[in-house]
């Protein structure tokens, strides 16, 4: 009875650990240790196999989380291309093919909603270990120590880069317009987009536009 009670507590600990910090189990050594612990726990409840089912589900969820993060990282790396001279690209394109944002989406609410989808996608991929990494990095700077063993997750960096990209997009769309009336219209449009972001609760995109 004591072994079963202890096993239940260990399972709860492992379940919360794998759900909250899945990146701790990305290397083979930690995954091997997890499997060894899981194997020993299942021996405490061989009669009905309930523990085995719970651990099997926990392991499956962990592998899915690691796979999803790996795929997300691969996609992000594909977009981390060297920045080219956007001004040269615009000059080489015919004026007729250069579309401003109003010709693509003229409704501030729809654009605010699309920006919010992007924000949620970025936020959804930020995990507690990303924050722990920043804290660990700050501690290493304070102690003047090199922390080369810290695993980089890039998710906070991606969120920060998105904020900067949106700010640059707004500035570019306004500055590329030559006529004053059109430029005024563009400024007013982005003010409306920022207002709609505020109404939705998307304060990050609102601040990027401002």
The full set of domain ranges for the chain reads 1-75, 101-137+151-209
Q: Which one is the CATH code of 101-137+151-209: 3.50.50.60, 1.10.840.10, 1.10.260.40, 3.30.1330.10?
A: 1.10.840.10
For residues 164 and 151, the answer to whether their CB atoms sit within 8 Å is no
Mean pLDDT across the stretch 3-10? Answer: 81
Neighbouring CB atoms inside 10 A of 15's CB total 16
Confidence of residue 132 (pLDDT cuts 50, 70, 90): confident
pLDDT tens digit sequence for 30-89:
888 988 888 888 877 666 677 788 888 888 888 888 887 777 777 666 666 555 555 555
For residues 87 and 168, the answer to whether their CB atoms sit within 8 Å is no
Length of the chain: 210
pLDDT at 149: 44
Helix (H, G, I), strand (E, B) or coil at 47: coil
CA gap 164, 209 in Å, rounded:
10
Residue 202 has pLDDT above 90, yes or no: yes
Helix (H, G, I), strand (E, B) or coil at 37: helix
The helix (H) or strand (E) run that includes residue 181 is: helix 180-200
Mean pLDDT across the stretch 144-155? Answer: 54
For residues 105 and 111, the answer to whether their CB atoms sit within 8 Å is yes
Q: Which of 1, 2, 5, 209 is nearest to 108 (CA)?
A: 209
pLDDT at 198: 96
């Amino acid at each position: 009875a004591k072994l079963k009670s202890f096993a239940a507590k260990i399972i709860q600990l492992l379940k919360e650990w794998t759900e909250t910090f899945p990146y701790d189990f990305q290397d083979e050594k930690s995954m091997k240790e997890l499997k060894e612990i899981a194997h020993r726990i299942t021996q405490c409840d061989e009669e009905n196999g309930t523990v085995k089912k719970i651990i099997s589900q926990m392991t499956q969820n962990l592998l899915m989380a690691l796979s999803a993060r790996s795929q997300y990282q691969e996609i992000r790396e594909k977009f981390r291309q060297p920045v080219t001279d956007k001004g040269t690209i615009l000059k080489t394109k015919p004026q007729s093919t250069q579309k401003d944002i109003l010709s693509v989406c003229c409704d501030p609410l729809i654009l605010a909603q699309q920006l919010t989808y992007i924000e949620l996608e970025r936020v959804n991929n930020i995990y507690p270990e990303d924050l722990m990494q920043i804290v660990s990095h700050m501690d290493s700077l304070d102690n003047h120590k090199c922390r080369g063993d810290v695993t980089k997750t890039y998710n906070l960096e991606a969120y920060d880069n998105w904020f900067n990209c949106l700010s640059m997009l707004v500035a570019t769309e306004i500055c590329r317009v030559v006529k004053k009336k059109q430029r005024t219209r563009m400024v007013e449009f982005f003010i409306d987009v920022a207002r709609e972001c505020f109404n939705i609760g998307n304060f990050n995109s609102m601040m990027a536009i401002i």
